[in-house]
Each structure stands twice: as structure tokens, then as C-alpha cells.
Amino acid sequence: MATETRLGGDLPVVDAETAAAGIGTEDTLLTSGFGRAGYPKALPLALAASDREFSLTVVSGGSVGDEIDTTLVEAGAVARRYPYQATASARDAVNDGSVAFHDRHISRLGDEVALGYLGGRNRENTEDGVGSGNGDGTRGETVAVVEAVAVGAGWLVPTTSVGHTPSYVQAADRIVVELNRTQPVELEALHDVYNRALPPNRGTIPLSTPGGRIGSPRVPFDPDKLEAVVETDRPDSPYEFRTPTAVDDGIAENLAGFLAGELDRNPVFADAVNLQFGVGSLGNALMSSFADVAFGDRDVAYFGEVIQDGLLDMLDDGVLDSASAASLALSAEGQERLFGDIERYAEQVVVRNADVSNSPALIDRFGVLAVNSALEVDVYGNANSTHLSGTHVANGIGGSGDFSRHSALGVLALGSTARDGAISRVVPMVPHVDHTEHDLDVVVTEQGVADLRGLAPRERARELVEQCAHPDYRGPLEAYLDRANEGGGHIPHDLEEAAAWYTR
């Protein structure tokens, strides 16, 4: 059922300004977009250019591009934002309190939107305007704004991400589709769209292998909700991966060494290895390093959030049998490579709903080996992925909690220092916890590997400092532990000293 017509049927095609005029000033926009791919561009730009005063709630699937998180935010049109942002403008607005933000677990977002936990539904009015509603507990209407390579009466084919689009068009009161003709319509060959019912009547997700297919390439929606189709030729802003640094290479080498041993001793990985890597340059660099791991005759699959360039290498090199994710977060070069040979990649690449890619149940069933990064980790194994100094958000938790909690083996990979060695990423006590000491198995830095499984907190502290901290910080960290141990306890701490670590 290959789609041949991008615009199927008699649809309400309008220009972006007209579509923008239909958006209420306090509406909630549920946007496509994940891993900075497949997000709407024309409508956000038109809203930003409008002279109406907007106080929008913007709920994206995951990371989106500058049209939303720079231009629209800088226009002052965004009052609330979930669940992730990754631009300087959005970050500043969130940190100065002018945009109300909450980073949420990606796996749960579709439900949270459907149940009205976000975006103003079910919320009482609050006093200061942010979150104020229209009297009945809601804030305007809920409009899905989603990008597609093709759209018809009651269906659309997403562009470079599926993300939460299937849930969002279902939850929305109205739908605006951006038809993007610069994206190849053949992308539909990659998509596997599967809609879950809400609890308590939802069944299991019937996916039996990481690279399997359980749905269709099209996102269904109620055709009566389709308010506008806006045509656009604006491409995604492609990812730019930094050249791997010596630290990246050191982490990759230590990780590869650890995994070589683990693959041999861990029964989960006896016949198959299902991998996940966090998003970004480090994740991408680590993917490339896997060419060096001896997987033997194991089946190797990627079951993660986004497909990055390193995965294309692993597919082309024959290391990977399949790759499953919610988004294609590729560099310009990676996009060209994939777009040039979509049919071939479609034999191995699946782009899914984010509540399937990040499903706790599936991550558990597939025994995923998850590798994610963080800003810092403390000596007891708590990780801070999101808040610099505990206060200023960087991007958001994304799917890291979905994978670190439910994986068969959770690895945290990070450099031992930041800011050219000026601060240690191994600290006494993280001032914000995204992943608790109950969730982390192994820490890898360019210094070494700390296998924390089965260790009590005091043992973890010794192991982490010895194996993973930068030599310049081992002394101060050991001095901290000595002082903390004077107070005793299962997890010895000196809270004031731990706080002073950040103010010094």
C-alpha cells in the first residue's frame, strides 16, 4: 500500500497564516517531532510572526527544532512547555521562570496527554496567569500540529519521526497537518504505527522481536478533526555531531572492554544483544565503537529512542540486524545516506511510536543493554541528567529513565570531568536526581569501569572513586568520604560538605 499521492482527497489546504489565525491564544499545541526530527515548522513561525498575544502550551513528542524552541519561544508565545527542550532560548526561558516546564518520562507522555495531566486539562486555575484556564478547568482547545509526507481523509504518513504523533492526533480536539514535500514520501516504508488503548483496557504490545512490525505506516485520525493542511518545504535542521574527543574514545574503549567480558558471562546476552544508546554526540560515538566488540554469532539489534549516524554504520557493517526507534535523528550526511536508499534500509530500520520504542514492558522483555549519559554521578550511584548545579535545566530527562530502570543492564557513560577538567563529574552528592542508586548497574568513564551490581553504598563509593573519577579529584572525593564516614549510616554523607562542593 505505497502512498503515491501526498495529498489524498479534498482537504482544507490553507497557508500558514490562515492556519495560525485558527489557533486560540491559550490553546495547547501537541506537536510532532522527536530527536529534533519531523516537527512542524510553518505554523510555529506563523504564530511567532502574528501580532496576537499568545500564551500557548506546547507539548512536543521529544526534542524539536528552532522554529518552535527558538523563534516561537523568543516571540513570548509559549507559556508552558513539555517534555523536553534543547535550545538556548527555551532553556533560558525555562530557567528564568518565564516558561513553565516539566521534563517527563517519554514512555508515559502519550498517556499523560490523553488523560489531561498536561496542557491545562484537569488543572484548576492558578493565581498568577501561568496555567490560568478558561473557567472550566481547561486552557483553550487542544490542537495537534504534526508534520507529514502525505495526508488524506483520516490518515497521515509522518516524516522523520513517529514519536507521540499517533497519541496526539487522537487526544486533540483539532488537527493541523504540515505537509512537507522536501521529505521523501518513501519514508512510509520505515514507519510502524501502533495505537494503544488507555488503561485499564489496554492489552500487551504484541511486538515479539526488537525489529518486528505490529502496525501500519499510517497514523489514523478522525477526519472531522482535520482543520487545516499547510504545505511547507522547510527541512529538519539536521544534527551536527561533534568529532569524537579523546575522552569519547576513552569511554568507548572502556565500554567495549567491559562488554566483551559481560557478553561472555551474562546469560541474557548468550544468544542475542539488544542495545540502546542515549542521544547525542557521545551516544553516536559509542555506537561507532561497537564495530570493535566481538558479538560472535549473536543476533544484535538496536532497540532505542533515535536512530543516529553511528547506527547506519553498524547496519552497513553488518554488525546490526535491525534498528528500532521513534525518530531519525541524523546529520545532513546521514539523512542523505538513508534517503538515498530507503527501501533497503526499510528491511532493517523501523520508526515507531515513542510509547513502543520506550515501553518499559518491551525494554524488560528484550533484555536491553542500555547505555546513557548524565551530567554527573555521585559516589553512591545517583545520576543527575538534567539540572546543572541542581537548579538550571539543560534539556530534560527524555527517555533515559525508561531505559535505565527497565534494562537488563544499565550503563552510565560519561567523561570523568567537565569544563576542560575544571569540575569533576563524579561528585559526593548530586543536587538533582534523575536516576536513583536503585537503577544504575555500571558506570564507565575514560578512566575506567565501576561495576556497582551487588555492592553496598560504601563499596560503591570506593569503586566509583577508584575506577571512574579523574585522578585530580580522587583525593578530594576520598577526603569527603572519610569525613562522611564519621557520621556513619548506610549511605554516609556530610550534607553541608556535599553542598559546599558546588559552591566552592
List, by residue number, the catalytic residues: 305
Nearest-approach distance from CB 379 to a second copy, in angstroms: 13
> Are 383 and 438 in contact, with CB atoms under 8 Å apart?
no
CA 74 to chain centroid: 23
Q: Which is nearer to a second copy, 265 or 419 (CB)?
A: 265
Q: Which is nearer to a second copy, 9 or 489 (CB)?
A: 489
- Number of residues forming the site for a second copy (CB under 8 A): 91
Nearest-approach distance from CB 288 to a second copy, in angstroms: 24
Measuring CA to CA, which residue among 283, 292, 346 is closest to residue 311?
Answer: 283
Measuring CA to CA, which residue among 242, 248, 362 is closest to residue 308?
Answer: 242
131 binds a second copy (CB under 8 A): yes
How many other β-carbons are positioned within 10 Å of the β-carbon of residue 245? 14
- Tell me how far apart the alpha carbons of residues 131 and 124 are, in angstroms, rounded to a whole number: 8
491 binds a second copy (CB under 8 A): yes
Binding residue for a second copy (CB under 8 A) from 74, 111, 186, 231? Answer: 111
Nearest-approach distance from CB 477 to a second copy, in angstroms: 17
Buried b (16+ CB within 10 A) or exposed e, 272-299: bbbbbbbbbbbbbbbbbbbeebebeeee
Q: Which residues pair with 147 in a beta bridge?
A: 178
504 binds a second copy (CB under 8 A): no
Residues of this chain, 410-469, that bind a second copy according to CB under 8 A: 429, 431-434, 436, 438-439, 441, 451, 453-459
495 binds a second copy (CB under 8 A): yes
Residues of this chain, 62-81, that bind a second copy according to CB under 8 A: 80
Q: How would you class 256 by CB atoms within 10 Å of its CB: exposed for 0-12, middle for 13-18, buried for 19 or more? A: middle
How many other β-carbons are positioned within 10 Å of the β-carbon of residue 110? 27
- Determine phi and psi for 169, rounding to 5 degrees: -65, -25
- Tell me how far apart the alpha carbons of residues 242 and 495 are, in angstroms, rounded to a whole number: 37
- Determine phi and psi for 23, rounding to 5 degrees: -90, 125
365 binds a second copy (CB under 8 A): yes
265 binds a second copy (CB under 8 A): yes
Q: Which is nearer to a second copy, 454 or 471 (CB)?
A: 454
Q: Which is nearer to a second copy, 152 or 401 (CB)?
A: 401
Q: Which three cell numbers stand for residue 191?
A: 514507519
Residues of this chain, 156-215, that bind a second copy according to CB under 8 A: 198-200, 202-205, 208
274 binds a second copy (CB under 8 A): yes
- Tell me how far apart the alpha carbons of residues 59 and 62 are, in angstroms, rounded to a whole number: 9
> Are 223 and 153 in contact, with CB atoms under 8 Å apart?
yes
267 binds a second copy (CB under 8 A): yes
Q: Which is nearer to a second copy, 154 or 457 (CB)?
A: 457
Nearest-approach distance from CB 418 to a second copy, in angstroms: 18
102 binds a second copy (CB under 8 A): yes
124 binds a second copy (CB under 8 A): yes
Residues of this chain, 390-419, that bind a second copy according to CB under 8 A: 390-393, 397, 401, 405-406, 408
18 binds a second copy (CB under 8 A): no
Please report, for residues 311, 327, 330, 346, 467, the alpha-carbon distance to residue 307 in angstroms, rounded to integers and kept in the order given.
Answer: 6, 6, 7, 13, 31
Binding residue for a second copy (CB under 8 A) from 225, 360, 418, 476? Answer: 360
500 binds a second copy (CB under 8 A): yes
268 binds a second copy (CB under 8 A): yes
483 binds a second copy (CB under 8 A): no
119 binds a second copy (CB under 8 A): yes
